[in-house]
Structure 1
């Protein structure tokens, strides 16, 4: 019985400290996640004129003339991607400049310019920036966000353990005080949302700094379980179709080395040998590729036009169902469909990305997905608030009132096994445990040195 009590106290103490330190960050991430959950609904209202409106001009022009008009109007910017959106949405150009800034330009059914947006200040990008990097960005902040997510997993597991072992969920006789009521509500709610919350966190980890890179690298290194090789190394256009006299002329390339990975390629509109976007769109129609889709420009002279339908584009009016996701590769000179990669070609990791991210974002199965995610997030915020209330109800003024420290013993064995398992699954969590262990060791050695010095005197 004594060992069981010690085991419970270990969980309680770690649960307490984890909650105290990461709860503010978890609150920020959860609230921003709720904001992002409804970005399509918000943007449809905020940007109604850009998304669905018409320009003041009624004359129809070709899509290539529209691209030329946009590049003339927004000096220094060039079109890198054309997004043909679903339903009644206007077509969107993604334009970039040499500094890496982006602008979205919308054209109506006549291919006339309706208006533009600064990409960095759109609602979806602002919410995404807050949720993934707290607006600050950088390696340290990205690791901090990932670390909070990892420790949230520990909080949920340890909370469920204490709920059952502490008999909190059982009906108790007698009158309950305020702290006991908060404790029970905290335990019941946490137990109910534990599994949905863990799923939400793990489907968000593909974006994380360390674990996300590990997952992505694994998917690239093992195409059979991850990303098909064709998607990693796209085919090339038939360069022999370029006239011999101009074949060695230098062509513009993207200023971002990772542009292709992020869906933005180099600007090849200055290459006279490349087929026009209008011609390409005719080839797309002939290939029975329905909208929505994005046309991504070739990155260099032997690059290809990439025509993609994605389930997690993060663009209002562009997402499709995961099983409809496909990437098509068109020769930039002949317009021939060279090859394509669809959902059926993905490995298990690739399919997890494809289903998991829209589930995390709340648009995998429509409004029910949004409502479920919203309820789970609100419940998570509530248990954090109840957790703070429980602490404040028993806190002694001027003291932290942390749970009692449990001396090392056999009871630590199972706890350490759990930490090791979580540390393997979530490497950044494991690294943080090593840091904690080093701090504990330093404190222990300093305390031992202090005690030995006192005894010597």
Structure 2
């Protein structure tokens, strides 16, 4: 075999592999681009959740600083006087300018967040629990607003986002000496090469961040997140095996009582032991105990709802080392469980760190601004992909990239797809559906068109 023939064969194989990768890059993008735009916009907003909520809800969340704070029980009584029912949670003011929040189950069956001035006990207003604009944005971002089934899209989008990054890097990789398009953008906006380079170069710089966001967003997915959560929490018990919890435990999970960290969702809440001679501590003493124990300001206290219930203090500030959950016996006031970030297992610590960075909390303003730029870049990539596709698509066609001449070129891609499908089951199911559609519908159509042109 001559060198020229060998070189021609190598080029043909490389061209076929390029076409196979391009085809699946196209399919993955076609499926997830609308969702990526939605996730990027809502994610960019949620990075600044505290700032936006404080601005939008300033009438109930901001107060003037005064000298004397009212006892928590007085604030709870004021909230109940305005909205009769049962107080179920007290949230300590996070700053001197913050209001206190009392969560009330009303007699009408509503669950309200009642905001009270901690200095005057004046009720500033109320809204549905988790009814702030940022809770709405959070539910939009996680698709939780649309129910359990749409939420499973998170796993599919995450898996395909990683596929887009991997295939995108392969497509971008320089194969010959080029004067542009590697780290610079060629041409003008009216030309397709401009949008191709804009898409590829932007992806080069933010691809790693996209993969990071996809992986750290997986804990919220419907299937993968739930399964890994139970496994990471030690057979669904909730607390790391290294922490001894030798107290009676209820069947109630912490996530059922109050918003908590991902690693603590399956943690069971302990039970108080009734003492005949003990009247029990009240909210004021419980809050004082939590303050003595050193819980970070802004902690929430879930009130006991039964004779064996506990006072549960929890706080999840930007500083991971200050994350903490403490359960107090409602009669003796003694801590039954005291869990910190340092007590999580290795997987829990890594996941919580990733989640904290994902939410723009771990490194302050720099973290927020960096991921704001990433979100803007993702929207730009999606827009440029759409323009690029529009400019190359044939009239009346979808513009699916051409088939490889040698179908064996798909073998390497299929191996990657199978591995991804095993790691992320819902993504694997979506890939299987796409394979069927490609094999049974798209390929025959393309082959008929090629045959018609040849004729």
Quickly name the TM-score band, shorter chain normalised.
0.7 to 0.9
Q: How does 1:42-57 map to 2 (within 5 A)?
A: 42-53=52-63
Q: Cα offset for 1:405?
A: 2.0
Aligned to 1:304: 310
Deviation at 1:124, TM superposition (A): 0.9
Counterparts of 1:416-431 in structure 2, within 5 Å, are 416-431=414-429
Q: 1:363: how far off?
A: 1.7
1:124 to 99, 120, 134: 134
Following superposition, the deviation at residue 60 of structure 1 comes to 7.4
Count residues in correspondence: 417
Task: Tell me whether 1:193 sits opposite 2:190 in the alignment.
Answer: no
Give the structure 1 partner of residue 3 of structure 2.
Answer: none
1:101 CA drift (Å): 4.3
Number of the residue aligned with 2:298: 292
CA shift in 2, pair 1:424/1:60, >3 Å: closer
Taking the TM superposition and a 5 Å limit, the aligned residue runs for 1:207-222 are 207-221=220-234
The superposition leaves residues 231-252 of structure 1 with CA deviations (integer Å, 9 ceiling, x where unpaired) of 9979449x9xxxxxxxxxxxxx
Q: Does the aligned pair in 2 maintain the 1:363–1:370 contact within 8 Å?
A: yes
Distance 2:179 2:280 in 1: 72
Rate the CA distance shift 1:427–1:97 in 2: closer, same or farther, 3 A.
farther
Query: 2:123 aligns to what?
Result: 113
Per the TM alignment, residue 399 of structure 1 is displaced from its structure 2 partner at its CA by 1.8
SS in 2 for 1:339: strand
Pair 1:103 & 2:112 matched: yes
Query: CA distance change for structure 1 residues 390 and 35 in 2, over 3 Å: closer, same or farther?
Result: same
Query: 1:360 & 1:169 partners in 2: Cα distance?
Result: 36
Cα-to-partner distance string for 1:401-445 (whole Å, 9 max, x where unaligned): 221123563322221121122222222111222233444565599
| Unpaired runs of at least 5, structure 1 | 240-252, 311-318, 451-457
SS in 1 for 2:362: coil
SS at match of 1:96: strand
The residue number in structure 1 matching 2:361 is 363
CA distance in 2, matches of 1:105, 1:429: 42
Q: Which structure 2 residue ranges, 5 or more long, are not aligned?
A: 1-10, 273-277, 449-455
Deviation string, structure 1 residues 50-82 (Cα, Å, up to 9, x no partner): 222269x9997532233233223213x422211
Is residue 346 from structure 1 mapped to residue 358 from structure 2 by the alignment?
A: no
Change in CA separation of 1:234 and 1:326 when aligned onto 2, cut-off 3 Å: farther
Task: Give per-residue Cα distances to partners, 1:319-352, cap 9 Å, x unaligned.
Answer: 2410111211211111122331111111122112
Q: Determine helix, strand or coil for the equivalent of 1:350.
A: helix
Q: Is the aligned partner of 1:228 residue 2:240?
A: yes
- Please give the residue correspondences for 1:53-452 in structure 2 after superposition, counting only pairs within 5 Å: 53=63, 62-75=71-84, 77-88=85-96, 89-97=98-106, 101-107=110-116, 108-133=118-143, 135=145, 137-164=146-173, 171=180, 176=187, 178-221=191-234, 227-228=239-240, 235-236=247-248, 259-260=256-257, 262=259, 273-310=279-316, 319-406=317-404, 409-440=407-438
- In structure 2, relative to structure 1, the CA distance for the partners of 1:400 and 1:65 (3 Å cut) is same
**Residue 5 of structure 1: how far off its partner (Å):** 0.8
1:435/1:392 CA distance change after superposition, 3 Å: closer
Partners in 1 of 2:243 and 2:79 — Cα distance? 30
Q: Cα RMSD (Å) of the superposition?
A: 3.7
Three-state SS of the structure 1 residue aligned to 2:408 is coil
Instruction: Classify the secondary structure of the residue corresponding to 1:124.
Output: helix
